[in-house]
Amino acid sequence: MNEKLYYPNKELAKEARIKNMCEYNDLVEWAEEDYEGFWAHFAKEKIDWFEPFDEDKVLDESNFPFVKWFGGGKLNVAYQCIDRHLKTRKNKAAIIWEGDRGDKRIITYMELYKEVNRFSNLLKNEFGVKKGDRVIIYMPMIPEAAYAMLACARIGAIHSVVFGGFSAEALRDRIIDADAKVVITADGAYRKNKPYMLKPVVDTALAQDTPVEKVLVVERNNEDITWIEGRDFSYNELIQSQSGECEPEIMDSEDPLFLLYTSGSTGKPKGVQHNQAGYILWAQMTTEWVFDIKENDTYWCTADVGWITGHTYIVYGPLAMGATTVMFEGVPTYPDAGRPWKMVEEYRINQFYTAPTAIRVLHKMGEDEPKKYDLSSLKVLGTVGEPIDPPAWKWYYEVVGGGRCSIVDTYWQTETGGHIVSPLPFATPIKPACATLPLPGIFGEILDPETGERVPVGEKGYMCVTKPWPSMIRGVWGDPERFVKSYFGDVKKDGKPVYFTGDGAVYDELGYITITGRTDDVINVSGHRMGTAEIEAAIKKHPNVAEVAVVGRPHDIKGESIFAYIVLKSDEGLGDEVAQVKEINNVIKSEIGNIALCDDIAFVPGLPKTRSGKIMRRILRAIAKGEAITQDTSTLEDPSIVETIQNKVKN
Ligand code: PRX
């Protein structure tokens, strides 16, 4: 709250900064005065429509919260990302790829056009994929992952990328929920100079009945894999004979573009649905505004395409605007904590975008590493995915950015499609660990959930968006009720339900927004969003687990770590808790994946429950943090359990 403001890049005259900020204010006012006019203007300016949208149908809210944008418009997202650039940028690098072991590929817009068209033809002609079919992409960070996404977009198939770190069980759940008929994968890839495998995970996921008919395998690391005749096909072979021309499918503004599964506070992960026009519009606009990418710039986002950041800010946003986007297969700390800075020097990266966890690790492992490299090309540094703490922010600002670069702390979610709260570089004065202001066109407000009023300065409230925006989630795949309940059930403003993000936030005296973290049972581990219910369901699969409650615990590097309280059915084997912990984590590994492993497990005789049987998680959170219990425990069925658990955890 009391941090000073920073004005990076002294050379950028004060007047220019003020001008930028005035432009910001103008845009905000414009959106306030003529919301639909504002969006219609940008939709016309930014998108190459096959057929223009109807001026009377910019926003249709008649079936709120099921909204429609840009009715009557026809477009193709792959065309927007590739074809339209060929006139002016055919030889410009679209993707610069660096592999784990330092191997490199540069793909121009012309090459991207050919690759994506060949891929589209393969899916259409060899696999019979049609408009509206769901295709799962379970891939490492290789250019073919981006080709696959764009090929689906080109032929109107709905992709659902599953992060390569998810287990067979998690992959299978998503395949079944999406009712997908094709899986695109790779044999494997490399991490820290060692091969790791993906295809065997797909094999396990498909071992029981699924709707999948065909599997396409990109041969990346050429390790031995099993091929199932009639189901598995080699991309490397089939792609050879495909034509490099494929007419883009003509899509309606509101045809689905992709599903991306994400965790909520209850139940299984939900398939967040994004549609064509609104999504690509905001992906492109925010990439332009927030990263300030110029024609000759090289932009690098370190995310994985398995997450929304990879979708919007590695693939769709940068390509829609015709930028050069860097894709990286490796680990930022391998072979040492200088890897990202070496790459910045080598490719003269201008915008660098990563997660606070990565910044904390790079800081810890190589405080002075950035000084060994020429980082003078950097202009904008971004963070995303979790709250960043002021020390990490300051190191990023001073040591990596040399005090010249603007830091954009971008706040958004899978559901928002693109940034919703972020500074604009060299306009918004920035403050450590603060996402600052809603972007123009986004009516982001911190509301009191009881009254629906804006909270006063310094008071925590719920981060909401009070008007629909083009890239907002269109639905939860196959479950319209869950969509309404998950996002529009908690807060009303002027009697009308508004979109609630699930995050708490607070205003400072400038009206700046600081995100304080989730208000629900979602944990954010290293920027990865995990539902406690999901982890609990996994742990319950262990035959000796009677009850379990999972909470988050603050962690120096990861932001939060996973803490599980487990009641066992029998104490047998409890003598060896180390082995039990290992067993529990093995179950999590096979049900979800390594990203959901518990850092702490406490085997306890019972859980703190109210007389009606509700687990008091707040108490468990306080114990995990080592805090004193301030809650009233008299309503508990067995108040003495609190001390028992405390003692257990202390030991
Ligand atoms: O809690 C917020 C946190 O990440 C959640 C969204 O996670 P996901 O859908 O996986 O998308 C991650 C990439 C956008 C949010 O509900 N979060 C995201 N950005 C920030 C953040 N928390 C604080 N500051 C941020 N800049």
Asked if the structure places residue 161 within a domain, the reply is yes
- Is residue 531 over pLDDT 60? yes
- Is residue 573 over pLDDT 70? no
644 versus 574: the higher-pLDDT residue is 644
Enter the tokens of residue 211.
Answer: 């709707």
- What span, in angstroms and rounded, lies between the C-alpha atoms of 72 and 457? 43
Among candidate residues 286, 303, 318, the one where a domain is terminated: 286
Among the ranges given (135-144, 152-161, 577-586), the one the predictor scored with the smallest mean pLDDT? 577-586
DSSP state of 71: T
Q: Residue ranges of the alpha helices (H) in 274-386?
A: 276-291, 308-310, 317-320, 339-347, 356-365
Mean pLDDT of the chain: 96
Rounded to the nearest angstrom, the distance between the alpha carbon of 526 and the centre of ligand 1 is 11
Asked if the structure places residue 237 within a domain, the reply is yes
Rounded to the nearest angstrom, the distance between the alpha carbon of 376 and the centre of ligand 1 is 29
pLDDT of residue 578: 83
Rounded to the nearest angstrom, the distance between the alpha carbon of 413 and the centre of ligand 1 is 5
Among candidate residues 286, 315, 340, the one where a domain is terminated: 286
Structural domain count of the chain: 2
- What span, in angstroms and rounded, lies between the C-alpha atoms of 575 and 577? 6
The CATH number given to whatever domain includes residue 600 is 3.30.300.30
Residue from 411, 471, 516, 522 whose mutation best tests the ligand 1 pocket (most atoms within 8 A of CB) = 411
pLDDT band at 586 (very low <50, low <70, confident <90, very high): very high
Rounded to the nearest angstrom, the distance between the alpha carbon of 504 and the centre of ligand 1 is 11
Asked if the structure places residue 156 within a domain, the reply is yes
Q: Ligand 1: which residue has its CA nearest to atom 14?
A: 413
pLDDT band at 9 (very low <50, low <70, confident <90, very high): confident
Enter the tokens of residue 141.
Answer: 């960070």
SS3 annotation, 547-613: EEEEEEEEECCCEEEEEEEEEECCCCCCCCHHHHHHHHHHHHHHHCEHHHCCCEEEECCCCCEECCC
For residue 135, list its beta bridge partners.
Answer: 159, 182
The percentage of residues in the chain with a pLDDT greater than 70, rounded to a whole number, is: 99
Among candidate residues 286, 302, 319, the one where a domain is terminated: 286
Among the ranges given (320-329, 359-368, 631-640), the one the predictor scored with the smallest mean pLDDT? 631-640
Q: Burial, 621: exposed, middle or buried (Cβ in 10 Å; 0-12, 13-18, 19+)?
A: middle
Residues 476-506 have pLDDT tens digits of 999 999 999 999 999 999 999 999 999 999 9
pLDDT of residue 574: 57
Phi, psi torsion values for 8, nearest 5 degrees? -65, 160
For the segment 288-307, the average pLDDT, to the nearest whole number, is: 98
DSSP line for 412-477: --GGGSS-SB-PPTTTS-B-TT--BSBPTT--EEEE-TTT-SBPPTT--EEEEE-S--TTS--EET
Residues 164-205 have pLDDT tens digits of 999 999 999 999 999 999 999 999 999 999 999 999 999 999
pLDDT band at 130 (very low <50, low <70, confident <90, very high): very high
pLDDT of residue 3: 87
Rounded to the nearest angstrom, the distance between the alpha carbon of 636 and the centre of ligand 1 is 34
Q: Ligand 1: which residue has its CA nearest to atom 24?
A: 387
- Is residue 409 over pLDDT 60? yes
Enter the tokens of residue 145.
Answer: 């992952």
For residue 593, list its beta bridge partners.
Answer: 166
Residues 324-358 have pLDDT tens digits of 999 999 999 999 999 999 999 999 999 999 999 99
Domain that holds residue 549: 522-650
Phi, psi torsion values for 245, nearest 5 degrees? -120, 130
pLDDT band at 635 (very low <50, low <70, confident <90, very high): confident
For the segment 29-38, the average pLDDT, to the nearest whole number, is: 98
Q: Ligand 1: which residue has its CA nearest to atom 7?
A: 413
Asked if the structure places residue 551 within a domain, the reply is yes
- Is residue 445 over pLDDT 60? yes
Q: Ligand 1: which residue has its CA nearest to atom 21?
A: 386
Return the closest-CA partner of residue 232 out of 261, 193, 200.
Answer: 200
13 versus 468: the higher-pLDDT residue is 468
pLDDT of residue 633: 87
pLDDT of residue 1: 57
Asked if the structure places residue 466 within a domain, the reply is no
Return the closest-CA partner of residue 260 out of 316, 208, 218, 213.
Answer: 316
Residue type, 578: V
- What span, in angstroms and rounded, lies between the C-alpha atoms of 477 and 454? 32
Q: Pocket around ligand 1: residues whose beta carbon is below 6 Å from it?
A: 262, 307-309, 384-387, 409-414, 435, 501-503, 515, 518, 524, 529
The CATH number given to whatever domain includes residue 79 is 3.40.50.12780
Q: Ligand 1: which residue has its CA nearest to atom 4?
A: 385
Rounded to the nearest angstrom, the distance between the alpha carbon of 54 and the centre of ligand 1 is 34
Q: Tell me whether the omega of the peptide bond preceding residue 65 falls within 30 degrees of 0, making it cis.
A: yes
Asked if the structure places residue 631 within a domain, the reply is yes
Residue from 314, 393, 503 whose mutation best tests the ligand 1 pocket (most atoms within 8 A of CB) = 503
- What span, in angstroms and rounded, lies between the C-alpha atoms of 439 and 459? 22
pLDDT of residue 575: 62
Rounded to the nearest angstrom, the distance between the alpha carbon of 579 and the centre of ligand 1 is 34
Rounded to the nearest angstrom, the distance between the alpha carbon of 86 and the centre of ligand 1 is 34
Residue from 388, 428, 521, 529 whose mutation best tests the ligand 1 pocket (most atoms within 8 A of CB) = 529
| pTM for this predicted structure | 0.97
Atom of ligand 1 nearest to the CA of 421: 26
Atom of ligand 1 nearest to the CA of 414: 9
Residue from 311, 409, 412 whose mutation best tests the ligand 1 pocket (most atoms within 8 A of CB) = 412
- Is residue 360 over pLDDT 70? yes
pLDDT of residue 265: 81
Asked if the structure places residue 571 within a domain, the reply is yes
Asked if the structure places residue 441 within a domain, the reply is no
Q: Ligand 1: which residue has its CA nearest to atom 11?
A: 413
